[in-house]
A and B are shown apart, each in its own frame.
Chain A
Amino acid sequence: MIHSLFLVNASGDIFLEKHWKSVVSRSVCDYFFEALERATEPENVPPVIPTPHHFLINVLRHRIYFVAVIQSEVPPLFVIEFLHRVVDTFQDYFGVCSEAAIKDNVVVVYELLEEMLDNGFPLATESNILKELIKPPTILRTVVNTITGSTNVGEQLPTGQLSVVPWRRTGVKYTNNEAYFDVVEEIDAIIDKSGSTITAEIQGVIDACVKLTGMPDLTLSFMNPRLLDDVSFHPCVRFKRWEAERILSFIPPDGNFRLLSYHVSSQNLVAIPVYVKHNISFREGSSQGRFELTLGPKQTMGKAVESVLVSSQLPRGVLNANLSPSQGTYTFDPVTKLLSWDVGKINPQKLPSLKGSVSLQTGASKPDENPTINIQFKIQQLAISGLKVNRLDMYGEKYKPFKGIKYMTKAGKFQVRT
């Protein structure tokens, strides 16, 4: 199982280590540093690195490498999932997961890590349970603790640890009972030169914020559940009920959680909300290239496309760009060759465009590669797959909760080739 964990910052220093079995020397990270050196980009470090006696499995989050050391045959996904959970927990506890936040809370971090793994076996990874065991630091509590000498470690066995609903603690009380659900869809697509879709798929999630008193039992039904043929559930969802009736029935965890994630595959017809007209051309022997981009809305069901951000990695031979946007602002970084254009909202009457010229190094030959355009956007009030919640009911408790559903579509990896 997981032997040790090292946290490494962007400049390659180990700033925290934790061992769950015997101590493994820091020098094991040398193999990681070698791989780091070989990688052209920080993201390109291979996730699994073999060393003579151990395996190093790492994930990069918030510019910190979480490097787990394992010695025996352990499923790598198990380790990676656990590391993700560590990151989520830190973020949950300290608001941000940064080197500074971890150093500021080093003792809590240590207590958390000890609570999350025992002998390399995961122990308590649910944020609900952890928060009962170790209270998250707040300014108020720190002050109170210093005055009263009380502790931020729970004295009681967390109720959830062993119950049939380990994700929910008992005795939850709220004055305002509310349950909000966000249906968020990310669209991943590759569009080719001519504007036709090569592949497009949707990753959707339903995130919930449930603050309900007692032990509520919720059911959520959809207008078109048939869309959801590839789903991953939070453990609270009763799978049999879903199989039989296509209804989500569950006792929710307290607070924020991800109820469901789903995937609408490329085999379904996925609507593409924006289109790009582009003309990027370089001529042999000339040090100038033409650059023209125009964006427009496509299948948006009448909703506005907002927060549009276009970015593109221009070829290495490009020295500078001299462009004028019809709206928004653009920047070009001559070192990284990254062009980014913050468009804002697309007005269907007056399409945003970015036109001008790019200058190449004099004498350099025409670049071989064609830049790919990356687009980010948001559409409020729309789930692009067409998914719609039918109704939400609550059983098991007497009060009437506030309920709310929000929809949103975002660009995931939305790429246009030129």
Chain B
Amino acid sequence: MTDSKYFTTTKKGEIFELKAELNSDKKEKKKEAVKKVIASMTVGKDVSALFPDVVNCMQTDNLELKKLVYLYLMNYAKSQPDMAIMAVNTFVKDCEDLNPLIRALAVRTMGCIRVDKITEYLCEPLRKCLKDEDPYVRKTAAVCVAKLHDINAQLVEDQGFLDTLKDLISDSNPMVVANAVAALSEIAESHPNSNLLDLNPQTINKLLTALNECTEWGQIFILDCLASYLPRDDRESQSICERVTPRLSHANSAVVLSAVKVLMKFMEMLPKDLDYYGTLLKKLAPPLVTLLSAEPELQYVALRNINLIVQKRPEILKHEMKVFFVKYNDPIYVKLEKLDIMIRLASQANIAQVLAELKEYATEVDVDFVRKAVRAIGRCAIKVEQSAERCVSTLLDLIQTKVNYVVQEAIVVIKDIFRKYPNKYESVIATLCENLDSLDEPEARAAMIWIVGEYAERIDNADELLESFLEGFHDESTQVQLQLLTAIVKLFLKKPTETQELVQQVLSLATQDSDNPDLRDRGYIYWRLLSTDPVAAKEVVLAEKPLISEETDLIEPTLLEELICHIGTLASVYHKPPSAFVEGSRGVQHKRLPPRAGSGESTESPDVGQSGPSEAPPAVIPSQGDLLGDLLNLDLAPPTATVPSVQPSMQMGAMDLLGGGLDSLLGGDIGGSPSVTAMPASLGSAPAVGGGLGDLFDLGGGVGMPTGSYVAPKTVWLLAMKAKGLEISGTFARRGGIIQMDLSLTNKAMSVMTDFAIQFNRNSFGLAPAGPLQVLTPLSPNQTIDVSLPLSTSGPVMKMEPLNNLQVAVKNNIDVFYFSCQYPLSLLFVEDGKMDRQVFLATWKDIPNDNEAQFQIKDIHLNSDVASNKLQGSNIFTIAKRTVEGQDMLYQSVKLTNGIWVLAEMRIQTEPFLLSDLKCTEPRIVYANLLHSQ
């Protein structure tokens, strides 16, 4: 007899029959009936109607029956809260049972009943169970605290369960420790700022002891918890590593990967010349390789993580290329990941092997995989210069196969190879041109067009080739259209005599017949350039292109560091920071690798606070308004190879900008015109272009000189719909030592507004209006006036949350309106904030470490002098500067209006994070040690 019998019931009233059986006197019949109910429940049938009958079976000595009833209760208590109360007494009684199994079962089940009324009754039994003499009960109770917290967080805090849980970290039983850590970690996830897992050397020691003795799952919890600890120095770091290393030999892959995480993170602190550092590197390779012989789904997760690890420390797996070779029956998701890692590990030493493999893959069946393999060959050529020739010939072989998608991929990557090694492999162009007709994918077509345009002078029939594309211009994708436009302009500049007609044709197609703004704008730019200044046009269009980088898809280093701290998690599988996608992890703290030993930097916890002074970064870096802001924030991603040349995209309003038009285009004599230097300007909207491009670029070039304190653009503070038609937008500025609130009042109502007045609530720095709000004339409908309100800092003080919050009341003849806004802290930096050097030194030492905060500012391309100048504009004064190991350190002081001094140490790192031929260094400004002192 099997359980399948529970599914076969007679037609007539299934529920009715079960009800009768549940109320039977015979124990055995009861149990069978409950089993039937459970069976129905597992397949999703609704048996909630039997609730009272099932609960009646709960008071029994039969453990199996009790468990079954509990299973039922957990599922349906939520839908029958009033009935569920009936079960409470049994629970409370069971929590006192002599058998620890029953005590644990009761507390475990109670926690799973997500009914508020029941949770109240749970508190007392839970408190007892947390201190139970039997560790099995204690460990179950620890998890129960996490359950309860999920249902009612406030209750858990009020009852002091969190403290009891923290005490359990020091429990004598390792399983209890592991469960306490697991529960605390889960609770901490919903409380990012609470200091629940307050780790210190003593607790760490306890965790390490428990690590050796608890179950595999417990080990995972403990290791993940250890990973969030920041050791005090390299010695502590080494000793933790030594004790974690044995976990690398665990049979459970999750334990292994968590151990790898801890080691990868703490390794960062070890000096590289230490013998132990080398030993550790060697120990990391075998377990990672072993993960690849596991089941495909484990392999996949492992590969995603290995992808991160080889980017951070390529030396670990550099000799293990072969384990990443693809087996033909690997699942596709494993194949693609392996391929990725093969390219990352490719080097001169193993390139021959890798290429032979890749060529093999290019003849497989799976289209996605084949495409990626072909692309990989191109990436190898770009990465390992010595192999470029062999890669190109491999690609040519593949093109000969005439397999359509192979040919198209090959052409796309050959274009990249041309960009990396200009004027080296042009001999293959003829072969490429043979395949022109078979290209049907936009990317391949665009790549081919780029090649034709770039090498127009060497292709005799370049004009014919491009003309053939022009016929179906409007059916092409934007990518191809843009490429075609640029290629024909290039062709014209190279062979002006024969191609006038062609260039006119494409310009008119782009500007007159197209409704794509990008295409139209690029068309106008070219037109204008060609008509006003052909020399400049040549310099812009045929400018030397920056070389493309070797690795086009490296993860940005700060993100990589964060991901290394999250090895083994979902974040590491998706290569995104946890905050980007996991629901429920509200405001996850960004984890950073610890600084390397000997860098002289303090190892305070690097949290970036959510509020308070450390929120100032956008304000303390003064930029010159939007434009510069945009430039500073320009995406650091290396220019992808598909970008053919400078792409200024501007919006030009009217046709009459086109000055001379076609006549001058044709008559344009070459030479003698002022040259224009191109710079990548990303201008949002068109300024009135009077004198043509020169002005435009001058305008772009003019930005960047520091001229004073930074003023943010106005933002809307009060919406018209919320204030009976009054809309207020504004910003704050500091001008000549006076704080001003710049307001724009707009009347969006139908009637005139008068009698304006303004008042502030008490705030952190005592900001108050220094005079009345000067709105002299009544504000008529649809009118806007700008007012500047001088502010004083002598008002009443009250700490706000966030610190720089300001609550404002504005009154007019209609009503009083309230809004709140936030002012930049730089507003409060006074002009006499320059501290004496000696005083600075003394003060620096005096300030306790607790007042210290540390954070990084990314993606700013400034050297120390420029940064210093800019900051001075906002009253952040550089006291001293020194250069340590090629890095500039700035020591700065700031004084706030209320007399608080803030001292800062700023380190400007210029580590080449992309390859140097891009000249793309990444200066990161580390604003350290933002301190308070009275």
Contact = CB atoms under 8 A, between A and B. Distances in A.
Interface of A: 1, 14-23, 26, 40-41, 43-44, 46-48, 50, 53, 55, 57-59, 71-78, 80-82, 84, 103-111, 114, 118-119, 121-122, 125-126, 137, 142, 146, 149, 151-157, 161-162, 164, 166, 188, 190, 192, 198-199, 201, 203, 229-235, 239-240, 243, 258, 261, 263, 265-267, 313, 316, 368-370, 372, 374, 413, 415, 417
B790 interface: no
Contacts of B357: 198
B386 interface: no
A257 B189 CA distance: 36
B103 to A, nearest CB: 10
Contacts of A188: 293, 327
A199 B322 contact: yes
Interface stretch (B10-18, B570-578, B761-769): B570-578
A246 B697 CA distance: 72
B67 A153 contact: yes
B175 interface: yes
Identify the interface centre among B75, B114, B217: most chain A CB within 10 Å of its CB.
Answer: B217
Q: Which size bracket describes the interface of B in this complex?
A: 35 or more
A23 B75 contact: yes
Interface in B401-419: 401, 403
Contact of B39 (A76, A107, A125, A369): A107
Nearest to A81: B254
Contact of B403 (A20, A108, A368): A368
Nearest to A258: B251
B331 A43 contact: yes
A106 to B, nearest CB: 5
Interface string B11-54: 00000000000000001100100010011001110000000000
B607 interface: no
Contact of A232 (B290, B584, B585): B290
B917 interface: no
Nearest to B147: A119
A121 B251 contact: no
Given A122-B215, A203-B293, A153 B63 contact: yes
Given A157-B136, A162-B175, 5 more contacts: A73-B189, A151-B62, A161-B175, A232-B249, A261-B251
A118 B99 contact: no
**Contact residues of B: prevailing secondary structure:** helix
Interface stretch (B294-302, B459-467, B618-626): B294-302
Nearest to B406: A368
A53 B293 contact: no
A121 B179 contact: yes
A73 B582 contact: yes
5 contacts: A20-B112, A44-B332, A53-B583, A59-B295, A80-B253
Contacts of B425: none
B328 A372 contact: yes
B136 A107 contact: no
B286 A230 contact: yes
A107 B41 CA distance: 10
Contacts of B257: 75, 77
A413 B182 CA distance: 38
A3 B135 CA distance: 25
Given A121-B179, A157-B101, A71 B135 contact: no
Contacts of B112: 20-21, 119
Contacts of B325: 190, 198-199
Given A22-B114, A104-B2, A198-B325, A146 B62 contact: no
Contacts of A229: 286
B182 A121 contact: yes
B220 to A, nearest CB: 6
B644 to A, nearest CB: 32
A413 B289 contact: no
Contacts of B293: 188, 201, 203, 263
B755 interface: no
Contacts of B582: 72-73
Interface in B541-592: 566, 568-571, 573-574, 578, 581-585, 588
Q: Nearest 9 pairs between A and B by C-beta?
A: A230-B286, A104-B2, A153-B64, A47-B297, A77-B254, A199-B322, A151-B64, A122-B217, A78-B254
Interface in B263-291: 286-287, 289-290
Contacts of A369: 363-365
Contacts of A126: 215
**Contact residues of A: prevailing secondary structure:** mixed
A73 B570 CA distance: 6
A1 B65 CA distance: 28
A47 B136 contact: no
B148 to A, nearest CB: 10
Interface of B: 1-4, 6-7, 27-28, 31, 35, 38-39, 42-44, 62-65, 67-68, 71, 75, 78, 99-101, 108, 111-112, 114, 134-136, 140, 143-144, 146-147, 150, 173, 175, 179, 182, 186, 189, 213, 215-217, 220, 224, 246, 249-254, 256-258, 286-287, 289-290, 293, 295-298, 300-302, 319-320, 322-323, 325, 327-329, 331-333, 353, 356-357, 360, 363-366, 401, 403, 566, 568-571, 573-574, 578, 581-585, 588
Given A55-B570, A80-B297, A263-B289, A73 B585 contact: yes
Contacts of B332: 40, 44
Contacts of A14: 44
A415 B328 contact: yes
A368 to B, nearest CB: 6
A101 to B, nearest CB: 9
B7 A103 contact: yes
Identify the interface centre among A43, A107, A114, A149: most chain B CB within 10 Å of its CB.
Answer: A107
Nearest to A75: B568
A75 B569 contact: yes
B63 A151 contact: yes
A258 B252 CA distance: 12
Contact of B6 (A58, A107, A235, A266): A107
B286 A119 contact: no
B333 A47 contact: yes
B67 A78 contact: no
A14 B217 CA distance: 28
B323 A19 contact: no
A77 B567 CA distance: 11
B216 A235 contact: yes
Contact of B136 (A73, A161, A235, A415): A161
Contacts of A18: 42
A105 B2 contact: yes
Contacts of A74: 569-570
Nearest to A135: B64
B169 to A, nearest CB: 16
A265 B253 contact: no
Contact of B215 (A80, A166, A265): A166
A3 B648 CA distance: 51
B290 A267 contact: no
Nearest to B581: A50
B152 to A, nearest CB: 14
Contacts of A75: 220, 224, 254, 257-258, 568-570
Nearest to B176: A162
B82 to A, nearest CB: 19
A232 B250 contact: yes
Contacts of A240: 246
A267 B328 contact: no
Contacts of A162: 135-136, 173, 175
Given A107-B3, A234-B251, A266 B323 contact: yes
Contacts of A234: 251
A263 B322 CA distance: 14
B63 A155 contact: yes
Nearest to A202: B293
B364 A59 contact: no
A369 B366 CA distance: 10
B584 A104 contact: no
Contacts of B63: 151, 153-155
